Amino acid sequence: MKPIILGESPNANGDRYYMFPLSGPIGQRLCTLAGITPESKGTQYGKYYWPLMRRFELWNLLERYSGPDVPVVASLLTEAWGALAPQLSGRVVVLLGRRLAGLAGVEDFFVWRKEGGARLVAIPHPSALSGYYNSTEMWDSAAHTLQDALALATETSVSG
């Protein structure tokens, strides 16, 4: 079974892409971090998105952007996480960003945790707005974590 990369929701401008979670520049960056070779032909982002999707399941916790009201978003995320978490048993899940990490009880980036039968890890959100990836060390840690997720998912599928 493929590992899951889980984001929060489409961005404010990305609602029309809710059927393609983690696409666009985010998908491009995730593909690059994971060391996945993009297709030689295709749309600007599709050549990254489709190879990424062949290796990972790409999900958002919320289907639609919920606006900038932090308490409302936090409440929606908490409710959605409560519904999703039991379904993740036996899965390898990469959580994008601190908010999802907090919901899952993952305290630090790049540290694997078992919770409810799932193997969870968080990486900084791969948005261009994130300053985390200005550091080569962070970039390398995220890349290794995504590659570890692929290896763990393969191991879990073979042994389980």
- Classify domain 4-159 at the CATH topology level: Uracil-DNA Glycosylase, subunit E (3.40.470)
In this structure, the chain runs to a length of 160
pLDDT at 87 > cutoff 60? yes
Alpha carbon 1 to its chain's center: 16
Tokens of 148: 């570890």
pLDDT on residue 127: 87
Q: At what angle do helices 136-159 and 25-33 cross, to 10 degrees?
A: 80
Average pLDDT, the chain: 90
Domain boundaries, the chain: 4-159
Tens digit of each residue's pLDDT (9 = 90 or more) over 2-49? 999 999 988 777 555 567 899 889 999 999 999 999 999 988 889 999
